[in-house]
Amino acid sequence: MTPNSKTLQKASKDNSTLKEVLHYIKPHMLYVALSLFFAFITVVLTLYVPILTGEGIDYIINEGNVDFSKLLPLLVKIGIIVLITAFAQWLMNLCNNRITYHVVKDIRTKAFSKLEELPLKYIDSHQHGEIISKIVSDVDQFSDGLLLGFTQFFTSIITIFGTLLFMLSVNIPITIVVVFITPVSLFVASFIAKRTFTMFQKQSETRGQMTALVNELVGNQKIVKAFSYEDDAKERFDKINQDLNKYSVRAIFFSSLTNPSTRFVNSLVYAGVGIVGAFSAISGGISVGQLSCFLSYANQYTKPFNEISSVITELQNALACASRIFSFIHEDAQTPDAANALVLQNAKGNVTLSHVYFSYTADKKLITDLNLHVAPGQRIAIVGPTGCGKSTLINLLMRFYDVNKGNIAVDGTDIQNITRNSLRSNYGMVLQETWLKSGTIRENIAYGKPDATEEEIISAAKLAHAHSFIRRMPQGYDTMISEDGGNLSQGQKQLLCIARVMLTLPPMLILDEATSSIDTRTELKIQQAFETMMTGRTSFIVAHRLSTIKNADIILVMKDGNIIEQGNHETLLAQGGFYSTLYNSQFSV
C-alpha cells in the first residue's frame, strides 16, 4: 500500500468516525443550539468589555482630568455585563455537560447491547480485558475529549470571528496586520495534529492490552502464585507498560508542541498590534483607550487559537478512542432469529443430529458427519479423551455456535428455526466451571426464575444439598457473595449452581462434570437428586469419571469429533473397544 493510499484510508476512517459521533449528537441538537446561543452571548459580552475599558481609559487619560460622572456608570455597566457573561457561561456548560454525558451514555449502552448480541466466537477469540477497556476506558477518554470540545471549541470559533468584527469596527489597518500573521498559528496546529492522532491511537490500543493482562492476572492470582509465575507476569506487564510509556510520551510530546508553538505566533500578533498601534496613536489615528482595546483584542483573538490547538489534541485522542468503540459496535452480530422462528415451549426432548459438521477454524476439522437420535427422557452420556468434541457438542445443542453443515432438530424443528431464548430456556445447564453473580445467595439460586417463592428456593437448595451450609452462613440466604463466589468453596459454588437448575427444572438437562468439585459423600447424595431430576427429562451428561454414567441409556464414545462407539455400559464393556480401555484404565492398579 502506497503512503498516499494509507493517508486517504486514514482520512476516510477519521471522517467516518466523526460522522458517527455527529450521528449520536443529532438527537440532542436542541441543547447544541442552546449551547451555541449561550456561547454567542458569552463571547459578544466578553468582547464588548474591552471597548468599555478603552472608553474608561480615555476618561482618565489626562492628569487631574478624571471624568467621574461618566466613569462610575461605566464601571457599573461593566460589572453587570460580567455577571450576565458568567451566568451565560454557566448555562452553556450545563448544556455541554448534558450533551456529552447523554452521548456517552448512548454509546456505552450501544456497546453493551452489542456485547449481548455478539456471537460467542467473538468473545472466545478476543481478550476479555480488551473488550472491557473499549466499553469503559475508551468511552471515558472519548467523554473527556468531547466535553472539552463542546466547552471550548464553540466559544473559540465564535470568539475568533467576533473579535475580528470588533477590531474592524475600531481600526481596519491594524486588523489586517492581525489577520495576516494568524494563519501561521493554524498551519502549526494542523501540522502537529496530523502526527498526534497515530500516537494516541497506539496509546489507546496498548492501554487495552494492559487492561486485558491485568484482568487476566487478577482473575487468576491463585494460578499465578501456584506456578510461581510472578516474574513472567511482571516481564509481560513491563513490556506492555514500556510500549504504553513510549506511545504516551510520543503522543504527549507532539501534543505539547502545539501550545508553545501557537503561543509564539500569538506573541508575534501581539507585538505587531502593539508596534502598529503605537505609531497610529502617535500620529493621532487612534486614542490611547482604543490602543488598549486593540491590545486586549489581540489577546482575545489569539487565545482561542491556543484553546483550539489544545482541543484538537484532545479530540484526536477522543476520535482514536471513538474509532475503537465504533469498530466494536460494528462487529457482526450473531445471526438474528428468523422472523417466523418458533417459540419452543415445554419441549418433549426429542433431539436429532443429522450429518453435522463443525470446526472452530476452517483449517482444523473437529466434528464430521455426526448423526444421533435421542428419544424423549433418554439419558445420553458423552465420554472421550480431552479435545474430542464433548463440550463442542454441548455448544452446538445450546446453539452457542451454529453448525457449519447439517442440522440439529428439537421435537422435529431445526433449532435454527427456533428462537435462541426459548431453546436455551428449555435446557438446564450445570457446568464444571461455576458462575455466580454479585448478590445474595437467594438471588443466585433464583437467577433463572426471579419470581420464585421462598419455599421454592429453599426446596431447590435442599434437593441440591446446599441448604445446610447456607444456614450456617452469616445471613443465611441473604448472605452477599462476590462475583466469583470468593467467600465460598468450589464445591459450595457448584452446589448453588445445581440448586439453580433444580429450581427451574426444564425439560432437557446438560450436566458437564457437574459434580467434579464435590466430595464423594455429597456426590452420592447429589447423584440421587440428579436421578430424581432426570426422570422423564432428556439428559446429556458429560463425564470423565465413567463410574457415574453406568445407568445412562446410551453412552456416546467420542474421538476426534466422531462417535466411534455407542451403546449402554454393559454392551460397550463386552465389545472390548475404546470405551472398555478407558473404563478399565480408571480402575487399574
* SS3 of residue 407 by DSSP: strand
87, pLDDT greater than 90: yes
Name the band, by pLDDT with cuts 50, 70 and 90, for residue 16.
confident
d(C-alpha 205, C-alpha 323), whole Å: 11
Q: What is the pLDDT of residues 490-536, one digit of tens each?
A: 778 888 888 888 888 888 988 887 666 667 776 777 777 777 778 88
The confidence score (pLDDT) of residue 183 equals: 65
Outline where 361-432 has alpha helix (H). Answer: 390-397, 420-425
DSSP string, 353-378: EEEEEE-SBTTB--EEEEEEEE-TT-
Q: What is the pLDDT of residues 317-367, one digit of tens each?
A: 777 788 888 888 888 888 888 888 888 888 888 999 898 888 887 777 788
Looking at every residue in the chain, the average pLDDT score rounds to 80
Q: What is the pLDDT of residues 426-450, one digit of tens each?
A: 888 887 777 788 888 898 888 888 8
Q: Are 383 and 556 in contact (CB under 8 A)?
A: yes
SS (H, E, C) 474-541: CCHHHCEECCCCCCCCHHHHHHHHHHHHHHHCCCEEEEECCCCCCCHHHHHHHHHHHHHHHCCCEEEE
* Domain ranges for the chain: 14-329, 336-426+551-589
Name the band, by pLDDT with cuts 50, 70 and 90, for residue 313.
low
Instruction: Classify residue 285 by its DSSP letter.
Output: S
Give, rounded to a whole angstrom, the gap between the first and last alpha carbons of the chain: 65
d(C-alpha 399, C-alpha 387), whole Å: 19
Q: Are 539 and 366 in contact (CB under 8 A)?
A: no
Q: Could you name the CATH architecture of 336-426+551-589?
A: 3-Layer(aba) Sandwich (3.40)
Q: Is 362 exposed, middle or buried (0-12, 13-18, 19+ CB in 10 A)?
A: exposed
Q: Is 504 exposed, middle or buried (0-12, 13-18, 19+ CB in 10 A)?
A: middle
Nearest to 135 by CA among 105, 111, 118: 111
Residues 6+ apart with CB under 8 A from 131: 115, 123, 328
Task: Retrieve residue 17's grid coordinates.
Answer: 468516525
Edge-to-edge, what's the strand order for the sheet holding 367-374? 367-374, 351-358, 405-410, 413-414
Q: What is the pLDDT of residues 181-227, one digit of tens each?
A: 766 666 766 666 666 767 777 787 788 788 878 877 777 776 777 77
The confidence score (pLDDT) of residue 189 equals: 66
Q: Is 232 exposed, middle or buried (0-12, 13-18, 19+ CB in 10 A)?
A: exposed
* SS3 of residue 385 by DSSP: coil
Q: What is the pLDDT of residues 362-395, one digit of tens each?
A: 777 788 888 888 888 888 888 887 777 778 888 8
Q: Could you name the CATH architecture of 14-329?
A: Up-down Bundle (1.20)
